[in-house]
Amino acid sequence: MLSNRQLFLMHLGQTSSAPLMVEIVRAEGAFMYGPAGEKYLDLISGVSVSNTGHCHPKVVEAVKSQVDAYLHLMVYGEMIQSPQVRYAAALTTILPHELNNVYFVNSGSEAVEGALKLAKRFTGKSRIIFFKNSYHGSTHGALSVQGSELYKNSFRPLLPDTFQVDFNDEKSIESIDKKTACVIVEPVQGEAGVIFPENDFLGKIRKRCNETGALLIFDEIQTGFGRIGHMFAIDRFDVVPDILLLAKALGGGMPLGAFISSKEIMSSLITNPQLGHITTFGGHPVCCAAGLASLNVIIEENLVASSAGKSALFKKELNHPLIAEARGEGLFLAVRLTDPNYVQYAITHAPDFGLILDYFLFCNTAFRIAPPLIISNDEILWACGQLKKLLDDVIKKAGK
């Protein structure tokens, strides 16, 4: 019989020539476990997905309960399904009042696609402004507003009338004009290496959009649900977009995405044409049940507020000759090494030290630390100790 490793390489479409190749048979809390009892502390949360940890009992209970009730019933938007409407209502109670209408989809990329269509439909314009080193997904439309030529060139031609500008450059704001349908921006650039806005950059974009009639889209797919020490970046920067994008932690470990706007803006998808945006599995009842349970855990266990202290502990303990900087807020950190040549070695060999790390698409000088928000102080101390051993190993072996 072929091993799972062999089957993985033979029958699954691959995303790179060098996958991590760590096999997991069970996950709980902040840890994942291999078939021979290997134990790995998850320092990336499936890339900002598992904010409440793996298999939180309340999330698992919600999933099992919904599975016993019903699975898929009908394409999205036709039938009243309790998990969908209850979750949408819960989300709107913790968001600014302008963001009161939720359209559920299956993923972050799909949320981006829906939002771009919505902006063009509502404004009647086509021009889209996006930022260098931004990441919004890899479907065709989302790829069109990704800020890296490396990942785009092989798939051109892409969506027309899209324009890239520089993040944190006030001159970029001048490109937003009366022909602009929307500006799509990550409030904190994730794949660029956790880059925060400076000098009220987001507020100035908001002001310019108001002046020109362009819609402002916030991609909070990575920052949402407590990742940066606030429930949403909206709260951190006190800027409200016209459309908010959520995914990753939205589903509590299940596949779920959403674009959220006002009732007025969202209603433009109802006519001309009817079914202006459709999805079969968007807002799947099991995913919505899991997401609502996960949101309740975040609130009940006060995970957003506690992430500030955990962030400070990480930064205090991440001291090593190879570490040049640990930047970020909450549990969304980029650890920059003194030599970028060591980053890939550290990520590849982290499992040998009981850790799971990951890289940034557009920042080769750092690796990410974005563990589940439920990670304990003791687990952070252990992780930092193992990280130092890993970096010692980097110096010893990769540095030769």
Beta bridge partners of 103: 259
d(CA 18, CA 3): 18
Number of domains in the chain: 2
- The answer to whether 175 and 215 are in contact (CB under 8 A) is no
Question: Which DSSP helix (H) or strand (E) runs through 381?
Answer: helix 377-393
d(CA 136, CA 116): 11
The per-residue pLDDT for 15 is 85
Mark whether 312 and 293 lie in a shared domain.
Answer: no
d(CA 356, CA 43): 6
The residue segments making up the domain with residue 332 are: 4-55+302-398
For the record, the structure tokens of 155 come out as 């798939």
Mark whether 246 and 389 lie in a shared domain.
Answer: no
Instruction: Phi first, then psi: give them for residue 345, nearest 5 degrees.
Output: -60, -45
What is the CATH classification number for the domain harbouring 385?
3.90.1150.10
Q: Which of 300, 322, 350 is the C-terminal boundary of a domain?
A: 300
- The answer to whether 321 and 338 are in contact (CB under 8 A) is yes
Mark whether 286 and 338 lie in a shared domain.
Answer: no
Mark whether 84 and 207 lie in a shared domain.
Answer: yes
For the record, the structure tokens of 328 come out as 């970020």
Mark whether 366 and 384 lie in a shared domain.
Answer: yes
Mark whether 100 and 221 lie in a shared domain.
Answer: yes
d(CA 182, CA 176): 8
Mark whether 63 and 196 lie in a shared domain.
Answer: yes
Q: Which of 300, 329, 362 is the C-terminal boundary of a domain?
A: 300
Q: Which of 284, 300, 316 is the C-terminal boundary of a domain?
A: 300
What are the average pLDDT values for consecutive 10-residue runs of the chain, which has 400 residues?
90 87 96 97 98 98 98 96 98 98 98 98 98 97 96 95 98 97 98 98 98 98 98 98 98 98 98 94 98 98 95 97 97 97 95 97 97 98 98 82
Put simply, whether the predicted model's pTM sits higher than 0.95 gets the answer yes
What is the CATH classification number for the domain harbouring 237?
3.40.640.10
d(CA 23, CA 4): 8
Mark whether 231 and 252 lie in a shared domain.
Answer: yes
For the record, the structure tokens of 53 come out as 């940890």
The per-residue pLDDT for 298 is 98
The per-residue pLDDT for 321 is 96
The per-residue pLDDT for 9 is 86
Mark whether 185 and 233 lie in a shared domain.
Answer: yes
d(CA 95, CA 97): 6
Mark whether 25 and 108 lie in a shared domain.
Answer: no
Mark whether 108 and 10 lie in a shared domain.
Answer: no
d(CA 143, CA 147): 8
- The answer to whether 356 and 346 are in contact (CB under 8 A) is no
Mark whether 232 and 124 lie in a shared domain.
Answer: yes
DSSP output for 288-301: HHHHHHHHHHHHHT
- The answer to whether 380 and 317 are in contact (CB under 8 A) is yes
For the record, the structure tokens of 380 come out as 């952070």
Q: Cβ neighbours of residue 342 under 8 Å, at least 6 residues apart? A: 322, 391, 394, 398, 399
For the record, the structure tokens of 136 come out as 């919004």
